[in-house]
Amino acid sequence: MPKVIGLTGGIATGKSTVSELLSAHGFKIIDADIAARQAVAKGSKGLEQVREAFGEEAITEEGEMDRSYVGDIVFNQPEKRVELNNIIHPIVREIMDKKKAEYVEQGHNVIMDIPLLFENELQDTVDEVWLVYTSESIQIDRLMERNDLSADDAKARIYSQISIDKKRRMADHVIDNRDSKLELKQNLERLLLEEGYINHTLEDDEEEEQA
C-alpha cells in the first residue's frame, strides 16, 4: 500500500533540497507552494476572489496577483491574512488532494511538501510526518544570506512559525540538516533504508555502474 508522507520544516531548513533527493528515489512530490501559485493563477477563481477582497491594486498589469502588495497587507494586518488564507487554502487542498489520489491509485509513494503543515494542523491528512531539521541559529544565518536580510528581519520570519524544536518533537521522523549537503543526503538515505523505502543507496548504484 503506497504511503503518503507529509514533508515539512522551517524557513531555510533545506526542505526543497530534501524534496529533490526524494524525487530522485522515485517518490512523487506534491508541492504546496506550487499549488498555492496555481490557486491564484491568471484567470482563476482564486484570483478573482483576491481581487474582490484586496481591490484592483492587488492585480498586476499582466493580470496576476501582486504578491508584494498583498504580502505587505497580510504581514501587517492579521485579519487580512486570515481572509487570504480562507481564499487560498481550500483551493490548494482541492488541487493537492486530487493529485494525491491520482498518484496513490497508480501505486506511488507520495510526498506532500507542506511548509506550514503543523501551523495549519494538517498532520492528520498524511500517514506520517518527516521534518527537515536544523538549529535556529543556522536558520537565521542561512536566511540572512539567502534573502539578504538583517538578523532582526530573519528572526521575525522564523518566529512567525512554530519553532523548529517544537516541530521536531511533533514529527514522526527527523532528517538532520545541520551539516553539509552530502551529510544531509546520507541522513535521508539512512532513513529510507530503515523504513524499507529503498534497499540500497544511489551511491551503491553509481559504484555498480563504474565497476
Q: What is the pLDDT confidence band of residue 200, given thresholds at 50, 70 and 90?
A: confident
* Domains in the chain: boundaries: 1-27+109-203, 38-107
Q: What is the pLDDT confidence band of residue 80, given thresholds at 50, 70 and 90?
A: very high
User: Is residue 30 helix, strand or coil?
Assistant: strand
Q: At 95, phi and psi to the nearest 5?
A: -60, -45
Q: What is the average pLDDT score of the chain?
A: 93
| Residue 125 in marked binding region | no
Of 52-56, 72-76, 207-211, minimum mean pLDDT range: 207-211
pLDDT > 80? residue 174:
yes
Of 31-35, 75-79, 172-176, minimum mean pLDDT range: 75-79
Contact predicate 7/171, CB 8 Å? no
Q: How many residues does the chain have?
A: 211
| Residue 32 in marked binding region | no
C-alpha 149/C-alpha 33 separation (Å) is 21
Letter string b/e over residues 139-153, b meaning 16 or more CB atoms within 10 A of that residue's CB:
bbebbbeeeeeeeee
Q: pLDDT at position 58, please?
A: 96
Read off the pTM.
0.87
Q: What is the pLDDT of residues 54-72, one digit of tens each?
A: 999 999 999 999 998 998 8
Q: pLDDT at position 202, please?
A: 61
| Residue 196 in marked binding region | no
Q: Which residues pair with 31 in a beta bridge?
A: 113
pLDDT > 90? residue 205:
no
C-alpha 47/C-alpha 87 separation (Å) is 9
C-alpha 106/C-alpha 2 separation (Å) is 9
Same fold, 1-27+109-203 and 38-107: yes
C-alpha 183/C-alpha 189 separation (Å) is 10
Q: Measured in whole angstroms, how far is the alpha carbon of residue 201 from the centre of its chain?
A: 24
pLDDT > 70? residue 193:
yes
Q: At 176, phi and psi to the nearest 5?
A: -75, 125
Q: Is 86 exposed, middle or buried (0-12, 13-18, 19+ CB in 10 A)?
A: exposed
Q: What would the mean pLDDT of 65-85 be, rounded to a whole number?
A: 90
CATH superfamily of 1-27+109-203: P-loop containing nucleotide triphosphate hydrolases (3.40.50.300)
C-alpha 149/C-alpha 43 separation (Å) is 33
| Residue 15 in marked binding region | yes
Q: What is the pLDDT of residues 125-168, one digit of tens each?
A: 999 999 999 999 999 999 999 999 899 989 988 988 999 999 99
Q: Which of 88, 110, 72, 97 is closest to 33 using CA atoms?
A: 88
Q: What is the pLDDT of residues 5-32, one digit of tens each?
A: 999 999 999 999 999 999 999 999 999 9
| Residue 71 in marked binding region | no
Architecture of domain 38-107: 3-Layer(aba) Sandwich (3.40)
| Residue 44 in marked binding region | no
C-alpha 52/C-alpha 80 separation (Å) is 12
Q: What is the pLDDT confidence band of residue 209, given thresholds at 50, 70 and 90?
A: low
